[in-house]
Amino acid sequence: MGRTSDAKERILAAAQSLIEQRGFSALGVAEICKAAGVPKGSFYYFFDSKEVLALAVLDEHWAGQRAGWSRVLSGDAPPLERLRRLFEETEAEQRAGQQSCGTVSGCLFGNLTLEMSNQTEAIRERLQQIFEAQVDMVEEVVAEARQDGEVTVSDSREAARSVVAQLEGQVLFAKLYNNTQRLDALWENCLALLGATAPGAAHRAGASLV
Amino acid sequence: MGRTSDAKERILAAAQSLIEQRGFSALGVAEICKAAGVPKGSFYYFFDSKEVLALAVLDEHWAGQRAGWSRVLSGDAPPLERLRRLFEETEAEQRAGQQSCGTVSGCLFGNLTLEMSNQTEAIRERLQQIFEAQVDMVEEVVAEARQDGEVTVSDSREAARSVVAQLEGQVLFAKLYNNTQRLDALWENCLALLGATAPGAAHRAGASLV
């Protein structure tokens, strides 16, 4: 097939799928090329090294996820309601992955953080940027909820970090137990971490809060 | 050195250290034996496979950690105070690891969950048992705090899961940013997740809570 116009996309897709199944360290370039159906020469035409490929996989996955997060988090719904939708979509996405490949694959960024961040500074740095961007997006919504008096937390950024950390921790358990229902707790935990009231808080405009 | 009496311990120690640095998949038996200073024959005398070694590393690490958790969580201090000490000790341990090897290595169980749980059912099962045991220990303390009226959460087990998930998520960030101060948030987040009051809650016997 050689350097067909979609060879790069096929390599990226195959690499992401293989990374989700078996992590990054254990993968070889030959295996990735075989799964992508491209000759090895194509790989090195597009990517100087496995590390460059890993960065490209991270960038592509984040581009897709950022668009999804942005869509969910920037709507017209009340801010907490948007956060709730983020968790619902995360659960739906993990469930879809489980249905298609048999296991909950978890968060690609969390997986690679625990596998790779201590081995490659370039990957560590990229993962930091991605998680900072996630925290930025959540922080913006938390700040809105603060302005609306829906949450009592004093530091929106720190609260956003804790929400993202809870998300990563629960996704880890969803993967471990191969059970997406582990993610059901995210919404109530988010409300607790933000100092909001009962799960209905987002729906009750001007509700008095703790 | 052959099958000296401490060869098994040396293999386990070398394996744990290498797994913390580079994950499990990328390790070879030869590399582990070289780091342990034992001939390859010794490895297969003690361990049938790399997977059997991984299980032994998990068991040994958990035996040590369980003793530490048990000591901290079963003392005479008020229940929330004991949880606070658990987080402090976790942070101290990660800091000590960072000082000795230059980077925060994170949680061995979390690392192997994200790297290995979808590849090997035996490892998945063992990691599930370990995390269930952690949740058991935290749940017991949460139940005590409930009896004392210090927390308002209705389901002690679910709350314990969320506390352990938050711990895993924040340890992931401590590793990603190579910064143990990320763990400073654990105590306040734990109080929030348990529906306790301000950080001083554990110190104020009989304080009225939210």
Q: Are residues B43 and B65 in the same domain?
A: no
pLDDT at site B116:
86
Closest-CA distance, A94 to chain B, in angstroms, reads 14
Q: Are residues B129 and B156 in the same domain?
A: yes
Residue with tokens 């078996």: A22
CATH of residue A31's domain is 1.10.10
> What is the distance between the alpha carbons of residues B54 and B59, in angstroms, rounded to a whole number?
9
Q: Are residues B34 and B86 in the same domain?
A: no
Integer CA distances (angstroms), B56 to A48, B23, B79, B106, B180, in order:
38, 15, 32, 19, 27
Beta-carbon contacts of B192 under 8 Å, excluding residues fewer than 6 positions away, are A192, A193, A195
Q: Are residues B160 and B75 in the same domain?
A: yes
Q: Are residues B16 and B108 in the same domain?
A: no
Residue ranges of alpha helices (H) inside chain B are: 7-22, 29-36, 40-46, 50-73, 79-101, 108-116, 121-147, 156-176, 186-194
Flag whether residue B25 sits within 8 Å of chain A, measured between CB atoms.
Answer: yes
Q: Are residues B34 and B99 in the same domain?
A: no
- Closest residue of chain A to B153, computed from CA coordinates: A192
CATH of residue B40's domain is 1.10.10.60
Three-state secondary structure call for residue B101 = helix
- Closest residue of chain A to B119, computed from CA coordinates: A22
Put simply, the answer to whether B168 touches A167 (Cβ < 8 Å) is no
- Closest residue of chain A to B105, computed from CA coordinates: A118
Q: Is residue B34 part of a domain?
A: yes
Q: Is residue A40 part of a domain?
A: yes
Q: Are residues A98 and A185 in the same domain?
A: yes
Q: What is the pLDDT along chain B (210 residues), one digit of tens a residue?
A: 444 579 999 999 999 999 988 889 889 999 999 999 999 989 999 999 999 999 999 999 999 999 999 999 998 999 999 999 999 999 999 999 999 988 999 999 999 998 888 889 999 999 999 999 999 999 999 999 999 999 999 999 999 999 999 999 999 999 999 999 999 999 999 999 999 965 444 443 333 333
A36 membership: H or E segment, kind and range = helix A29-36
Q: Is residue A71 part of a domain?
A: yes
Reading phi first (left if > 0) and then psi (alpha if -120 to 50, else beta), residue B78 is in beta
Put simply, the answer to whether B21 touches A118 (Cβ < 8 Å) is yes
A45 membership: H or E segment, kind and range = helix A40-46
Q: Is residue B176 part of a domain?
A: yes
Burial A173-188 (b: 16+ CB within 10 A, else e): bbbbbbebebbbbbbb
Flag whether residue A131 sits within 8 Å of chain B, measured between CB atoms.
Answer: yes
> What is the distance between the alpha carbons of residues B151 and B155, in angstroms, rounded to a whole number?
11
Integer CA distances (angstroms), A51 to A42, A123, B26, in order:
16, 8, 15
Contacts of B103 in chain A (CB under 8 A): 118
Residue with tokens 């990517």: A47
Q: Is residue A32 part of a domain?
A: yes
> What is the distance between the alpha carbons of residues B205 and B115, in angstroms, rounded to a whole number?
43
Three-state secondary structure call for residue A85 = helix
Beta-carbon contacts of A81 under 8 Å, excluding residues fewer than 6 positions away, are A202, A203
pLDDT at site A197:
64
Task: Tell me how many degrees the CA angle B158-B55-B169 measures, rounded to the nearest 5.
Answer: 35
Q: Is residue A33 part of a domain?
A: yes
pLDDT at site B18:
93
Flag whether residue B22 sits within 8 Å of chain A, measured between CB atoms.
Answer: yes
Beta-carbon contacts of B104 under 8 Å, excluding residues fewer than 6 positions away, are A118, B94, B97, B98, B174, B175, B178, B179, B180
Q: Are residues B105 and B194 in the same domain?
A: yes
Beta-carbon contacts of B74 under 8 Å, excluding residues fewer than 6 positions away, are B82
User: Which residues in chain A show pLDDT less than 70?
Assistant: 1-4, 197-210
Closest residue to B114, CB basis, from A114, A118, A178: A114
CATH of residue B138's domain is 1.10.357.10
Contacts of B173 in chain A (CB under 8 A): 131, 161, 165, 168
Percent helix, strand, coil in chain A, to 5, is 75, 0, 25
Residue with tokens 């017209």: A76
Three-state secondary structure call for residue B139 = helix
Beta-carbon contacts of A50 under 8 Å, excluding residues fewer than 6 positions away, are A24, A27, A29
Q: Is residue A12 part of a domain?
A: yes
CB contact residues (below 8 A), chain B span 35-94, against chain A? none
Domain of A21 in residue numbering reads as 1-47
Contacts of B22 in chain A (CB under 8 A): 25, 118-119
Residues B166 and B104: beta-carbon distance below 8 Å: no
- Closest residue of chain B to A183, computed from CA coordinates: B162
Q: How many domains does chain A have?
A: 2
Q: Are residues B112 and B163 in the same domain?
A: yes
Q: Are residues A42 and A63 in the same domain?
A: no
Q: Are residues A29 and A62 in the same domain?
A: no
Cα A72 to the chain's mean position, in Å? 14
pLDDT at site B197:
64
Q: Is residue A85 part of a domain?
A: yes
Closest residue to A192, CB basis, from B111, B128, B192: B192
Q: Are residues A22 and A93 in the same domain?
A: no
Q: What is the ipTM of this complex?
A: 0.90
B200 membership: H or E segment, kind and range = none
